[in-house]
Amino acid sequence: MENLQAMLQSPIPVLIDCFATWCGPCQMVPPILKEVKDKMGDQLRIIKIDIDKNQQLAAQWQISSVPTLLLFKAGRLIWRQSGVVPAHQLIPILKQKI
């Protein structure tokens, strides 16, 4: 898999879904992200990061609750949101940010 840092530095925005397997609301996010991907296509990349397997990243990004979405563009964190965001709300936010 491509190096995460290289991916974050890319001109293509990266939406990161920070989740945990034990988190109930996190189970609601994958279908939302599928809809986002279907509507936005190659305008952004979407990756999932399990905070229990990546505790150093979770600490670096100060993830205190899951699910948390992070949007990076050219290496900078430009937007973050904790909690479940429905696709019809998330897509306009992402389009505005990128």
Bridge partners, 68 (sequence order): 18, 82
Q: Is 18 a catalytic residue?
A: no
Q: Of residues 4, 7, 20, 23, which has the active-site annotation?
A: 23
Ranges assigned E (strand) in the chain:
14-19, 45-50, 68-73, 76-82
Q: Of residues 26, 32, 85, 94, which has the active-site annotation?
A: 26
Output helix, strand, coil percentages for the chain, rounded to the nearest 5: 45, 25, 30
Q: Is 23 a catalytic residue?
A: yes
CB 67 within 8 A of CB 17: yes
H or E stretch at 68:
strand 68-73
The catalytic residues are: 23, 26
